[in-house]
Structure 1
Amino acid sequence: MLAECCLCPRHCGVNRLGGESGKCRVTGQTMVSSYGPHFGEEAPLVGRYGSGTIFFTYCNLRCVFCQNYDISQLGNGSAVDGEELAGMMLSLQAKGCHNINLVSPTHVVPYILEALELAASRGLYLPLVYNTGGYDSVETLKLLDGVVDIYMPDMKYSDEKTGEQLSGIKNYPQVNRAAVKEMHRQVGDLQLDEQEVAQRGLLVRHLVLPNRLAGTEAVVRFLAQEVSTNTYLNVMAQYRPCYKAFEIPELARPVNRQEFSEAIDLTHQQGLSRLDKQQISLPLRLILG
């Protein structure tokens, strides 16, 4: 898959094993920006001791408003091998984290699988979270069937032109929807233990954008009609202009109260009621001042 790279739907076809790089700008190695317990994730992932996040450098998307652009676009991070990546996973487990949360894993799946084999042989048992921007190929996802416990994709847009303008890809909605359906086929709806900590299932993120650019109505309708009305959904209001967002007038301000309230109403109208309360309450306080 790396000799003629087809890991993601971009199908760049470059020889990453030979040092070439495609749209994600990663060659034959993995880069990690940081790792550690994280308490800002969704409530079922954080629990009491945090989500064990590993932030991979670079991304297969080019979102102009990315809040982590220093990692995803500017390449902040260091190269690691399979031994080091496995060690990070085991270290997070030793710290008491509830899961291993792989952030932006799409372009480094083979290296993750290599590290997981090492870590599992040394006692790794935590649920594995695949935390993705949502531009994933079904073929690659099928390699993860039985490996990933919790899928956490973004559903960024419902309009092709918006995806091309804001993330540099023409077919985001179609690819994203096929990926989300495959994820749900593998793991089903989100399942929590007696402490309300996620063990398995699908958790979807949707960032509300100014001027309705995210196409929330079509996103939640798809989830309700083609995935499950029991989908656990995080409708996020924390958008703020970052990176190149100020170059696009429609993105050059935060989301307002009306836009976020409308997004929540649309979600309820479609019968989706499993919303992440931790993530909703904080942005509302910020918006309402």
Structure 2
Amino acid sequence: MKNVSERFRAAYLGLLENGELEQRVRIARQHLQSCDLCARYCRVDRLRTTQGVVCRTGDRAVVYSYGPHRGEEDVLRGCNGSGTIFFSWCNMRCEFCQNWEISQKGEGREVEPEQLAAMMLDLQARGCHNINFVTPSHVVAQILAATLIAARQGLKLPLVYNSGGYDSPEALALLDGVIDVYMPDMKYGDSVTAHRYSHVRNYWEFSRAAVKEMYRQVGDLRLDDNGLAYHGLLVRHLVLPAGLAGTENVLEFITREISTETYLNLMGQYYPCYRAEERPELARPITAAEYREALDIARRFGLARQDRISRRGRLL
């Protein structure tokens, strides 16, 4: 299987050639001085402190791990894996987070942009099909700085932005023409539930606006002859017990305001993690019937482009 970079040109290479990518790096760093690079709008000067910053990340990104990931969507992992970079900390506080040691405890190490760029180039050298930024919303400026360095040194792979959907328009404007594949997780279909379980405000409003902008930038997901994604939108949605994720609202929004050709990963692997046991309604896996109901909703709305990984949930 050929790497997609051998046939399709990554979006950011055009911005590198005309000098726009370097300009984006400068602008993004300025945003860190009164940070609006996620939907929390904390306005803290992250070049000086992490006090008052929910993401607890300052000037340097914190990376937990990186490497080829063969558990991602089929269209990303291919034969050689998706080149994932797991960022520590998060701009959300999900009480059922399955990676809470990374997102809530911040395990990992601070890296300079040059080190982050070296990781990207190493993943390319190891044959990965893309660079997959996991939990990137709070490190947009750092990602741009590293991309500039890596692109100057020969990076050609598509970039995947794998976020929780709580992204600001300011951040997405800086990423326009840089990111090849957007992969937001639309976690909830209403903001009240999002505030209760993930401690964020106006999630549904920000998530819808973010996905609309992502789609405007990249359109429907496009695959090469090997079935590998190289450009476009892929939406994830984790089915929660008792319909708490608002699956019908999410899928109706995608159908009516994005596209019936949206590539969807309807995830059935929920199980109680982190603080979920403290919430009786979250303290169990989803049932097979609940997952089938979610699939039926997707079929009813005509969302037929679904990833096979969505069927691999641990169900009762």
After TM superposition, is the score higher than 0.5? yes
Tell me, in whole angstroms, the C-alpha distance in 2 between the residues paired with 1:245 and 1:159: 19
2:216 corresponding residue in structure 1: 185
- One-letter amino acid of the structure 2 residue matched with residue 55 of structure 1: F
Structure 2 runs not aligned, ≥5 long: 1-30
- 1:130-189 Cα distance to aligned partner (Å, 9 max, x none): 000000011210111110000000000012111001100121001000000000000000
TM-score by length of 1: 0.97
Distance 1:94 1:20 in 2: 34
Residues 42-75 of structure 1 deviation map (CA, whole Å, 9 limit, x = unaligned): 0000001000000001000000000000000001
For 2:176, which of 142, 145, 149 is the aligned residue?
145
Are the counterparts in 1 of residues 82 and 132 from structure 2 also a CA contact under 8 Å? yes
Give distance in 2, aligned partners of 1:180 and 1:272.
16
Structure 1 gap segments, 5+ residues each: none
- 1:122-137 to 2 correspondence within 5 Å? 122-137=153-168
The alignment covers a number of residue pairs equal to 285
In the alignment, which residue of structure 1 is the partner of 2:96?
A: 65
Q: How far 1:77 sits from its partner (Å)?
A: 0.3
Q: In structure 1, what is the equivalent of residue 113 of structure 2?
A: 82
Which consecutive aligned stretches of 4+ in structure 1 deviate over 6 angstroms post-superposition? none
Structure with larger RCO (C-alpha < 8 A, sep 6+): 2
Distance, in Å, in 1 between the alignment partners of 2:311 and 2:57 is 37
- 1:201, 1:83 → 2: CA distance? 28
1:248 aligns with 2:279: yes
CA distance in 1, matches of 2:152, 2:39: 31
> Once the 2 structures are TM-superposed, how far is the Cα of residue 20 of structure 1 from its aligned partner?
3.0
Structure 1 residue 15, shift from structure 2 partner: 1.1
Query: Could you list the per-position Cα deviations for residues 184-241 of structure 1 after superposition, in whole angstroms to 9, with x for gaps in the alignment?
Result: 0000000000000000000000000001000000100000000000000000000000
Q: What is the aligned counterpart of 1:111 among 135, 138, 142?
A: 142
Amino acid at match of 1:287: L
Cα distance in structure 1, aligned partners of 2:238 and 2:102: 19
Q: CA deviation at 1:27?
A: 1.5
Report if the CA contact (8 A) 2:268-2:311 is conserved. Answer: no
Residue type at the aligned position of 1:176? S
Query: SS of the residue aligned with 1:20?
Result: coil
Partner of 2:36: 6
Distance 1:240 1:106 in 2: 24
How do 1:152-167 and structure 2 match up within 5 A? 152-167=183-198
Q: SS state of the match for residue 287, structure 1?
A: coil
2:258 counterpart letter in structure 1? V
- Where 1:55 maps in the other structure, the secondary structure is strand
Distance in structure 2 (CA, Å) of the matches to 1:20 and 1:240:
32
- Counterpart CA distance in 2 for 1:212 and 1:281 is 18
**RMSD over equivalenced CA pairs, Å:** 0.8
Which amino acid letter does the alignment assign opposite residue 185 of structure 2? Answer: D
Matched residues in 1 for 2:91 and 2:201: separation? 13
Give the structure-2-normalised TM-score.
Answer: 0.89
Instruction: Give the Cα–Cα distance (whole angstroms) in 2 for the partners of residues 287 and 19 of structure 1.
Output: 44
Q: Quick check: 1:42 aligned with 2:70?
A: no
Alpha-carbon distance in 2 for matches of 1:281, 1:116: 34
SS of 2:68 mapped into structure 1: strand
